[in-house]
Amino acid sequence: MIFILPFVYILLMAVKTKQEAALFLFAWPSEWRAWENLVEVVQTRNYMLLLAYFNSTVITLGAVTLLVIFGAMVGYVLQRRRSPWNRVVYVFLLIGLMVPPAVVPTIWVLQNLGLFKTIHGMILIQVAYGLSFAVLLYRSFIASIPRALDEAAIIDGARPWQVFFRVILPLLKPVTVTLIVVQSVAIFNDFTNPLYYLPGRENVTVQLTLFNFQSQFQSQYNLLFMNILLVTIPPLLVFVFCNRQIVAGMTSGGVKG
């Protein structure tokens, strides 16, 4: 119950009238205003929510695509090629996993590269922050693919990139699905990084709209909660359709006891 009630509350608040919502009561709405509220939220500030959805989608898709390709390529070389550098790289990956980014210096770097306040800058940031996870996930999976497969392909005349793209990558499908699901939820829900690196109206992401509307809708809690509801829908869909992959991914080899 404790886990469901807040969602029921969000749902109820989202369909109330403005006056009723302002009371904060956990009560059945006297009047269902779902559609009106929806339309109103979408229209506010020149359809900002639609723009935000578009931006968030672009960022999520772009970053996840790059993460899959980069993560698999790095994990592959790291697993297959013994070298004294591997330990160093491993340490950096752990650092990347644990250490929070240094915000202001990152803004400084982004500004110097002309990437500050841009969508592609944001994509690259998400790639940089998600890379460690992707590499470690792929590396441990690739360890279970026999090397003889690479060698068979090499003897068949495959160039290195052909070995990777035509033999290894297709075999990584299960982890790739996991990675896509986990990372897209994480990136779609990310608030902190867009807050720092994507200020400004034209680049808002979905999470930022919530934050902006929080001040704007002080008196219109119904709309604010409708917005929350809309923002919750994509993860809900992912959850409904990919529950298995998520569970697999979250616990993948996590506990080898």
Partner 1 sequence: MSSVVLSDLCKSFGAIDVIRGVDLVIEPGEFCVFVGPSGCGKSTLLRLIAGLEEATSGTIRIDGKDVTDAEPSARGIAMVFQNYALYPHLTVRDNIGFGLSLARRPKAEIRARVEAAAEALQLTHLLDRKPKELSGGQRQRVAIGRAIVRDPKVFLFDEPLSNLDAALRAQMRIELSDLHRKLGATMIYVTHDQVEAMTMADKIVVLNGGRIEQVGSPITLYDTPASPFVAGFIGSPRMNLYDGRAVGESCATYGIRPEHLKLTDMAPRWRGTVRHVERLGADTVIHLDVPDLGDMVVRADGDRNPPIGSMLGISPLPGREHRFP
Partner 2 sequence: MTTRRRSPYPYWFVLPAAVVFVTLFLVPTVASFWFSLTRWDLFEAEFIGLENYRQFFREPFLVQGLVNTLIYAVVTSGAKSVLGLLLAVLLTSGIWFQGFLRSVVFFPVLVSTIGIGIAFAALMHPTRGAINLALAAIGIEGPAWLSDPALALYSVALIDIWKGVGLATLIYIAGLAAISPDYYEAARIDGATAWQRFWRVTVPLVRPATVTVVTLSLIGGLRSFDIIWATTRGGPGFASDVLASVIYKQYQAGFYGLSTAGNVILFLLIGVIVLPMTWGCSKREVDVGACAAMAPVAA
Residues at the contact surface with partner 1, assessed by CB under 8 A: 146, 148-149, 151-158, 162, 166-167, 170-171
Among 45, 80, 119, 177, binds partner 2 (CB under 8 A): 80
Helix residue ranges, H only, 156-220: 160-162, 169-171, 173-189, 192-197, 206-216
Residues 169 and 171: their CA atoms lie apart, in Å, by: 5
Under rule CB under 8 A, which residues in 154-193 are in contact with partner 2? 154, 160, 163-164, 182-183, 185-186, 189, 191-192
Would you count residue 57 as binding partner 2 (CB under 8 A)?
no
Would you say 157 or 257 has its CB closer to partner 1? 157
Interface pattern 3-42 for partner 2 (x via CB under 8 A): xx-xx-xx--x---------xxxx----------------
Would you say 58 or 167 has its CB closer to partner 1? 167
62: enclosing H helix or E strand: helix 34-80
Would you count residue 249 as binding partner 2 (CB under 8 A)?
yes
Burial of 172 from C-beta contacts in 10 A (0-12 / 13-18 / 19+): buried
Compute CA distances 67 → 127, 176, 184, 209, whole Å. 6, 10, 10, 26
Q: Compute the least distance from the CB of residue 165 to partner 1, in Å.
A: 11
Would you say 54 or 196 has its CB closer to partner 2? 196
User: Dmax of the chain from CA atoms?
Assistant: 74
Among 19, 65, 214, 218, binds partner 2 (CB under 8 A): 214
Residues 80 and 139: their CA atoms lie apart, in Å, by: 9
Q: What is the identity of the amino acid at 238?
A: V
Copy the structure tokens of residue 69.
């390709």
Would you say 99 or 155 has its CB closer to partner 1? 155
Q: Compute the least distance from the CB of residue 32 to partner 2, in Å.
A: 19
